């Protein structure tokens, strides 16, 4: 782990900004006004003379639809004409210069919309009030007499009308109102509607420019091989042959990495392959998957553990039980593998450093740039480019940005694009953390669940990635979805005696935030074990859960919804079996009912998954459906066949031939129930991923009588015994 990797607190301190900077207390910058005829009404809303509305968005689009949703919310409060709405990304440098007026850029934790909606809706509502005031002032009529629809302002009394574009300049000069009232979501006409995404054309004609596509005159390209041994280091390398190869400009050592800079990337990569590199394995020479498994096994029964959720006396409950059930589950390392490999372009001079990259967190990229460049934040800039996928990889670490800056620093003034090969992306990932879990449940003589002990053993993401977020050594994020309370991820069951604890065991392989994060394994562990308990109690899996969910109506509502639509309790097609799961995370309640079959050869087919989400407010149901489907493709691929294994401290699976990705033929039909109950804002990009795997695993048991407790599923022979 690189000590200089970004952490948010350092950035906040470094940036000298307050975390609560999302107010309307900004002033219109003279600079922006001076920039010409395109005044910003406020930081969020720019209106061009031709009435185009430009919504400025701090969060990042990476395929999840966030910019469209945020633009809808702004257009709604603004009473804009949706056909005229477009967007732009303020740069992280501008955000620093304007005291974080656009708030947090981090686009992870399914918070793109839910943590920006208030500031952006208020910004839009304020802009609308200012625009109306400007028109009223021009007509010298009371503002109460003017109205607006689709960006056209009208004064009925005098039969006059104007447009936003015409009054934007005057509006920009007005004092922004404080606490502008927001619309009742029940009256939304743009937000809440299944609109198509913004900016799709370039994605069907090849014109969309991702950061890997960045071009500029004189641009050089770099290929990198960082030390692939986790905990190891670069010992020596021989670049003699590589230096003579066509197009090669320089062979460099950057920390533990060897880098070739050449005119084209292919030449850089070819030369890099010709460099003879030796590594020092350090303490990792014998680090392999077996050693890591042993480490985790020890944690399953260790006496000391961090407590996540505790009430009653679980040991007493287990002792006094009529029956107990015990099972151990495991979840391997998994890599994000977004389709666009990590890359960044940088140019460094003694007084300025610029980076062009795809990142889920422009502010983190800027902080990383500043640290690597040895220049203050105001002498650095990051230009945000479109992402070919993120899934948490481009949020966890800006290591590729750091490398690109360090490379550029070696050739001052030269713009250099660093691209990781797919192999580098696999070898230097921030993997879904490895954990195991020992589940122990106690039943009374009537089959009621009296106690549950959930002992998690394994890796903490925060301990490596954001150690300052640990709470006296404890990683609170480990318990996602298992907490006794809170709005983020509450356990949906009331169990009289419960203990959820975590024996933290941190192998030197870097973990990261991987779509769904710790909810993924927590949902598998808990929801599959619920099925085991129901079976032991001789009770239907849905009925068993319902008894425990009386005090959790929102969890129960989504579970009931999928059970009903999924046909739970009714006969399925011959050979098809069902499984259920529910979970809560990132503020949303989700459930799934999966239908699978397993043939005589043991081949699994997932036919259909009915999914439900209560995300509070549904800003764009069409895009939520796409996130549900996408999350299932991502989560099922992981559950079915993805694992990163370690040998000699190094990742074994270097490309998609050994690290299979779910493809068309394995994609189930997905039916979505979007059931927002209002009053809160839950996330959308991740939550449904939690329930895909456990619902399928429970259906596999129904089909085969086999409990698959170790992921991925491919490691278990599913043929009927």
Partner 1 sequence: MAKLNINGKTLDVNAEPDTPLLWAIREQLGLTGTKYGCGVAQCGACTVYVDGEPVRSCSLPISAVNASQKIITIEGASGKIVEAVQKAWLEHDVPQCGYCQSGQILAAASLIKAKPTPSDEDINREMSNICRCGTYNRIRTAIKQAAAAVRGA
The residue count for binding ligand FES (CB under 6 A) is: 3
Select the residue interacting with partner 1 from 204, 217, 468, 574 (CB under 8 A): 204
* E strands in 244-360: 248-254, 257-262, 276-280, 306-311, 323-331, 343-349, 352-357
Per-residue DSSP letter, 667: P
Is 63 among the residues that bind ligand FES (CB under 6 A)? yes
Q: Which is nearer to partner 1, 194 or 569 (CB)?
A: 194
Among 241, 339, 350, 487, binds ligand FES (CB under 6 A): 339
Shortest approach of partner 1 to residue 48 CB, angstroms?
25
Q: How far is the CB of 121 from partner 1 (least distance, A)?
A: 24
Closer to partner 1 by Cβ: residue 84 or 626: 626
d(CA 24, CA 129): 13
Rounded to 5°, angle at Cα 384 from 269 and 5: 70
Smallest gap from Cβ 532 to partner 1, in A, equals 29
* Residue 405: strand, helix, or coil: helix
Q: Which is nearer to partner 1, 145 or 671 (CB)?
A: 671
By CB under 8 A, the residues from 474 to 533 that bind partner 1 are none
Asked if 635 touches ligand FES (CB under 6 A), the answer is: no
How far, in Å, CA of 25 to CA of 518, rounded? 37
Handedness of CA 706, 711, 716, 718 (dihedral sign): positive
Among 25, 246, 575, 602, binds partner 1 (CB under 8 A): 246
| Closest to 260 in 3D by CA, of 234, 233, 221 | 221
Taking CB under 6 A as the criterion, the residue among 176, 389, 512, 566 binding ligand FES is 389
Q: Which residue, judged by CB position, is nearest to ligand FES in the bound state?
A: 339
Assess 218 for contact with partner 1 (CB under 8 A).
no
For partner 1, the closer of residues 367 and 689 by Cβ is 689
**Position 652 contacts partner 1 (CB under 8 A):** no
Sign of CA dihedral 698, 704, 708, 713: negative
Picked from ligand FES, partner 1, none, the partner binding residue 37 (CB below 5 to 8 A depending on kind) is none
- In the region spanning residues 310 to 369, those forming contacts with partner 1, defined by CB under 8 A, are 337-341
Residue from 259, 254, 261, 257 nearest 279 by CA: 257
Q: Is 232 in the site for partner 1 (CB under 8 A)?
A: no
278 closest CA partner among 249, 243, 239: 239
Residue 534: what are its φ and ψ, rounded to 5°?
A: -60, -40
631 in contact with partner 1 (CB under 8 A): yes
Tokens of 651: 């990742």
DSSP letter at 239? -
Partner in contact with 649, chosen from partner 1, ligand FES, none, beta carbon below 5 to 8 Å by kind: none
Kindly tell me which residue out of 614, 629, 643, 653 binds partner 1, with binding defined by CB under 8 A: 629
Report CA-CA distances (Å) from 604 to 203, 390, 687, 693, 721.
Answer: 33, 28, 24, 13, 15
Q: Is 244 in the site for partner 1 (CB under 8 A)?
A: no
Task: Give the number of residues written for the chain.
Answer: 721
Tell me if 480 sits within 8 A of 471, measured CB to CB: no
Closest separation in Å from C-beta 625 to partner 1:
9
Only one of the segments 131-139, 383-391, 553-561, 583-591 lies at the binding site for partner 1 (rule: CB under 8 A); that segment is: 383-391
Tokens 């890997």 correspond to: 212
Per CB under 8 A, residues contacting partner 1 are 62-65, 196-197, 200-210, 212-213, 215, 221, 246, 264-267, 270, 337-341, 386-391, 419, 421-422, 622-623, 626, 629-634, 655-657, 661-665, 667, 669-670
Where on the chain is the footprint of ligand FES (CB under 6 A)?
63, 339, 389
């Amino acid at each position: 782990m690189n000590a200089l990797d970004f952490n948010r607190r350092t950035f906040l301190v470094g940036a000298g900004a307050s975390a609560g900077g999302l107010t309307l207390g900004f002033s219109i910058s003279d600079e922006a006004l001076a920039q010409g005829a395109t005044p910003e009404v406020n930081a969020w809303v720019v209106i061009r003379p031709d009435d185009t509305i430009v919504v400025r968005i701090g969060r990042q689009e990476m395929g999840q639809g966030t910019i469209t949703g945020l633009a809808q919310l702004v257009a709604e409060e603004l009473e804009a004409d949706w056909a005229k709405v477009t967007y732009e990304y303020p740069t992280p440098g501008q955000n620093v210069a304007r005291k974080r007026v656009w708030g947090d850029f981090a686009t992870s934790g399914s918070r793109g919309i839910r943590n920006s909606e208030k500031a952006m809706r208020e910004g839009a509502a304020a802009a609308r009030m200012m625009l109306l005031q400007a028109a009223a002032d021009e007509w010298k009529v009371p503002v109460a007499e003017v109205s607006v629809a689709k960006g056209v302002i009208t004064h009925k009394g005098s039969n006059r009308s104007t447009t936003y574009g015409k009054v934007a300049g005057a509006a920009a000069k007005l004092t922004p109102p404080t606490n502008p009232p927001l619309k009742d979501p029940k009256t939304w006409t743009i937000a809440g509607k299944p609109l198509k995404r913004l900016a799709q054309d370039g994605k069907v004609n090849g014109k969309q420019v991702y950061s890997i596509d960045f071009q500029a005159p004189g641009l050089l390209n770099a290929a990198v091989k960082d030390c692939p041994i986790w905990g190891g280091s670069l010992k020596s390398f021989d670049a003699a042959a590589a230096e003579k190869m066509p197009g090669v400009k320089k062979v460099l050592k950057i920390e533990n990495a060897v880098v070739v800079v050449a005119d084209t990337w292919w030449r850089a990569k070819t030369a890099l392959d010709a460099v003879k590199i030796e590594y020092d394995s350090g303490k990792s020479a014998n680090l392999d998957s077996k050693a890591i498994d042993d480490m985790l096994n020890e944690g399953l029964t260790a006496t000391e553990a961090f407590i996540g959720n505790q009430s009653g006396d679980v040991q007493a409950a287990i002792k006094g039980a009529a029956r107990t059930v015990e099972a151990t589950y495991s979840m391997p390392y998994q890599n994000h593998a977004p389709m666009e490999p990590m890359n960044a372009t940088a140019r460094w001079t003694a007084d300025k450093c610029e980076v062009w990259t795809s990142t889920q967190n422009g502010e983190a990229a800027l902080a990383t740039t500043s640290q690597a460049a040895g220049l203050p934040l105001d002498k650095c800039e990051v230009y945000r480019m479109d992402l070919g996928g993120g899934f948490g990889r481009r949020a966890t670490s800006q290591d590729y940005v750091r490398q690109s800056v360090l490379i550029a620093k070696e050739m001052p003034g030269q713009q250099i694009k660093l691209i990781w090969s797919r192999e580098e992306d696999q070898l230097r990932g921030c993997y879904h953390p490895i954990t195991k879990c020992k589940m122990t449940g106690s039943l009374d003589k009537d089959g009621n669940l009296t106690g549950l002990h959930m002992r998690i053993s394994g890796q903490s993401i925060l301990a490596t990635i954001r150690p300052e977020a640990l709470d006296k050594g404890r990683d609170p994020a480990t318990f996602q979805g298992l907490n006794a309370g809170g709005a983020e991820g509450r356990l949906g069951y009331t169990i009289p005696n419960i203990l959820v604890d975590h024996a933290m065991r941190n192998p030197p392989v870097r973990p990261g935030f991987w779509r769904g994060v710790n909810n993924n394994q927590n949902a598998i562990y808990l929801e599959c074990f619920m099925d085991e308990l129901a079976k032991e109690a001789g009770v239907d899996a849905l009925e068993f859960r319902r008894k425990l969910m009386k005090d959790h109506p929102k969890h129960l509502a989504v579970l009931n919804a999928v059970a009903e639509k999924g046909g739970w309790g009714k006969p399925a097609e011959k050979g098809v079996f069902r499984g259920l799961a529910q979970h809560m995370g990132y503020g949303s309640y989700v459930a799934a009912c999966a239908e699978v079959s397993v043939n005589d050869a043991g081949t699994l087919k997932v036919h259909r998954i009915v999914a439900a989400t209560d995300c509070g407010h549904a800003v764009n149901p069409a895009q939520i459906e796409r996130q549900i489907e996408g999350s299932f493709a991502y989560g099922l691929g992981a559950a079915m066949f993805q694992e990163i294994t370690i040998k000699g401290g190094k990742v074994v699976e270097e490309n998609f031939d050994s690290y299979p990705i779910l493809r068309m033929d394995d994609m189930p039909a997905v039916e979505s129930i979007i059931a927002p109950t209002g009053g809160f804002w839950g996330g959308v990009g991740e939550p449904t991923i939690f329930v895909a795997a456990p619902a399928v695993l429970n259906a596999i048991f129904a089909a085969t009588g086999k409990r698959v407790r170790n992921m991925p599923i491919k490691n278990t022979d599913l043929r009927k015994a």
